Amino acid sequence: MTELPEKFTSRMRTLLGGEYDAFISCYNNPPVRGLRVNTLRIDAESFFDISPWRLEPTHILDEGFIVHGADNVGRHPYHVAGLFYMQEPSAMSAVAASPADGSGLRVLDLCAAPGGKTGGVAAKMRGRGILVANEIVPKRARLLAQNMERLGVTNASVINAHPEAIASALPRFFDIVMVDAPCSGEGMFRKDVGAIAEWSPEHVKACAERQSLILESAAECVRGGGCIVYSTCTFSEEENESVIESFLSRHDDFSVEFSERLYPHTSCGEGHFVCRMRRDGNSFEARAGIPPLKDKATLRLLDDFMSDMLENGLPDGIIHMAGGKIRLIPHDMPAEVLKLHPVTCGIELGEPRKGRFEPSHTFFMAALEGFSREVGFPSDSSELFRFLSGNTVPCPNELRGYCRVTVNTEHGAFPIGFGKAVDGTLKNHIPKGLYIN
């Protein structure tokens, strides 16, 4: 059995009473691994058909599964293509509790990295509305942006800002604010011995204080009629119910709409707490959008490329240029995000270079349809793995120009990057940092 701190087990015995023995016996079992199908790419039933691993439902999220026997997951072409995200099963409860499947919603994920819950909410949004995903640590913010790219998210801005700065820039703006709060990680003890080493009653208290501060910023961001979805991967009442009760005592215009605790002995996974609070009223704060690019020569260059590359052209949005990069940004994305240290915003399309347009990897990974040129390979083909490792591969002689490269299955073709076809050879344009050797 995992050796647990005595003060932790004493707390849990008091909290659980007669359920304690069932709870503590779970620590004799290995941790449960979970997988969330990315429904921006593929529906859950279709992925179940093609999965190389044995799956069983979590009963927490329709597209969530327990996965058995999955080794080297990050190297599999389905992972590269963003068909799924490895996610602890009980953590999916926060996605399930988020009412993000309406049209045109404005959603903020205040503590977003590495992106499991952000990606789940983005899938529910189906490219509609706007999603602002924040991570205060720069390195983790870049990882978050990479995961949004892999999952094909088109309507998000990844920012790197303090919660107080977001609250100041965008008060009462969002319909939903997700707060997956940094916590003492008691729900991670079975899979992370480091969390055990860091645990102490003092650490629990410090986490609760930080969580309360983050919730204050979240409250500033939520419009009247909107909601906060608060979650942790810990069991302590101090970081869960007590934080919520303290928040409600200071904000009488909020009320609890839904609350749930998950334990390893009552559901699959390691354990989670989630609470949805709704704000009274029905206020709406408008914000100016991001200014469009006006340079006619650059716009013509972009239009010529997209007319050749996409059969139906780009979806509606704002064409914006910053730092030499051209992006397609949702109309409702507020201009204030440009002051909140954006790592990325919308779909990075590419950049103009010496009279030609150089497309980006993000453009080819985006959940867009109607690419005029594609080169596809079966998931087990040697050509696919050569391409994923950064090499050139053969392609039809008649093919010319940039092509989206896909892994092909009986349920569709899914992007893994792009290349340029020249005289029967597909030159590799996957960024070097994403090669799989």
Structural contact between residues 127 and 40, judged by C-beta atoms closer than 8 angstroms:
yes
For 332, residues 6+ apart whose C-beta sits below 8 A from its C-beta are 104, 106, 129, 130, 289
For 206, residues 6+ apart whose C-beta sits below 8 A from its C-beta are none
Which CA distances in Å does 260 have to 49, 162, 241, 275, 278? Answer: 31, 28, 10, 6, 15
Length in residues, the chain: 437
Residue 101: Cβ within 10 Å count: 12
Burial of 97 (0-12, 13-18, 19+ CB in 10 A): buried
For 291-318, letters b (16+ CB in 10 Å) and e give eeeeeeebbebbeebbeebbeeebeebb
Both ends of the chain: CA-CA distance in Å? 37
User: Which residue, among 187, 183, 37, 51, has the nearest Cα to 119 in the 3D structure?
Assistant: 37
How many Cα atoms occupy the beta-carbon half-sphere of 394 within 13 Å? 4
How do strand 425-428 and strand 106-109 relate by DSSP bridges? unpaired
For 288, residues 6+ apart whose C-beta sits below 8 A from its C-beta are 334, 335
Query: What is the helix (H) or strand (E) element at residue 141, kind and residue range?
Result: helix 138-151
For 74, residues 6+ apart whose C-beta sits below 8 A from its C-beta are none
d(CA 275, CA 260): 6
DSSP 8-state symbol, 378: E
Active-site pick, 183, 233, 268, 275: 233
Burial of 405 (0-12, 13-18, 19+ CB in 10 A): buried
DSSP 8-state symbol, 325: E
Return the structure tokens found at 65: 């599964």
233 is catalytic: yes
Classified as helix, coil or strand, 351 is strand
- Active-site residue numbers? 233
